[in-house]
Amino acid sequence: MKKLYEGKAKIVYENDDDTYIIKFKDDVTAFDAIKKANISEKGRINLEITSIVFELLEKNNIKTHFIKKLSENSMLVKKAKRLDVEVVVRNKAAGSLCKRLGIKESTELNPPLVELFYKSDELHDPLICIEHVKLLNLCSEEDVSIMKQTALKVNDILKAFFDNINIELIDFKLEFGKTKEGDIILIDEISPDSCRLWDKTTKEKLDKDRFRFDLGDLKEGYLKILNSIRSS
């Protein structure tokens, strides 16, 4: 098994066939790895949430790279060439949107806001627009349109899913890849590392912002999400 890529929270191994194995690490980083920690079981928890979410999306006709869980911290996925565009969907203002535009946290965004970011560690994932995507030759305009439409469908499905377990989906980030057949599919993970999730009643932040801004124990928040999903 060849190691293809090691990121901050995951390792991708290449199989001989049309699949990769992705291993979820217990490492957590923020602000381009200026802040780092290792939190036991974080990989297992994120993989479990990711698997449940990808299976839910597949059931709702969203194509993802997910094939199956292989172990507590690894999953088998379909090979797809990553597009270096991150798609963020926001239902309420938080994080970099508040910082960039001076919007008050929690401000309702209706319709949801869709933003594009350039996936580049050295440039710190800057916000980009469609003209930048074309200039950098990251993918076609049609690809972007498919990604945006898919992201909004994912938002509808996940908002309802989390709402049902008394959790509010504030925003999330998606990554996409292109298969050898030319299909654009969802890749990477969907977990509390890549979503903002708040308890609807208490407004407690259950996601990675706990680590980014020292709001509380990360694992406790992630387990609250997983346990709510499991008991639903």
**Which residues here bind ligand ASP, judged by CB under 6 A?**
8, 29-33, 208, 212
Does position 22 interact with ligand TMP (CB under 6 A)? The reply is no
- How far apart (Å, rounded) are the C-alpha atoms in residues 92 and 111? 10
Site string for ligand TMP, 33-72 (x = CB under 6 A): ----------------------------------------
Q: Does 107 bind ligand TMP (CB under 6 A)?
A: no
Asked if 151 interacts with ligand TMP (CB under 6 A), we say no
Q: Is 196 in the site for ligand TMP (CB under 6 A)?
A: yes
User: In terms of CB distance, is 20 or 117 closer to ligand TMP?
Assistant: 117
Instruction: State in angstroms the smallest separation of the CB of 36 from ligand TMP.
Output: 14
Cβ partners under 8 Å of residue 136, min gap 6: 118, 128
Of 54-62, 74-82, 88-96, 161-169, which segment contacts ligand TMP by CB under 6 A? 88-96
Write down the least CB distance from residue 30 to ligand ASP, Å: 4
Residue type present at position 110: N
How far is it, in rounded angstroms, from Cα 147 to Cα 161?
Answer: 21
Q: What is the largest CA-CA distance in the chain?
A: 49
Angle 42-59/218-230 helices, nearest 10 degrees?
Answer: 40
Partner touching 112 among ligand TMP, ligand ASP, none, CB below 5 to 8 Å by kind: none
Q: Residue 99 in 3-state DSSP?
A: helix
Instruction: Work out what residue 173 binds among ligand ASP, ligand TMP, none; the CB cut-off runs from 5 to 8 Å by kind.
Output: ligand TMP
Residue showing the smallest CB distance to ligand TMP in the complex: 95
For the CA atoms of 86, 88, 94, 98, the dihedral, rounded to the nearest 10 degrees, stands at: 70
**Least distance CB 8 / ligand ASP (angstroms):** 5
173 binds ligand TMP (CB under 6 A): yes
- Determine which residue in the list 88, 114, 116, 154 makes contact with ligand TMP, applying CB under 6 A: 88
Q: Residue 116: how many CB atoms within 10 A of its CB?
A: 20
Comparing every residue's Cβ against ligand ASP, the nearest one is: 29
Per DSSP, the residues of 121-179 read GGGT--EE-HHHHHHTT-S-HHHHHHHHHHHHHHHHHHHHHHHTTTEEEEEEEEEEEE-
Using CA atoms, how far residue 13 sits from 69, 185, 189, in Å, is: 14, 19, 15
User: Which residues are at the interface with ligand TMP (CB under 6 A)?
Assistant: 88, 94-97, 125, 171-173, 194-196
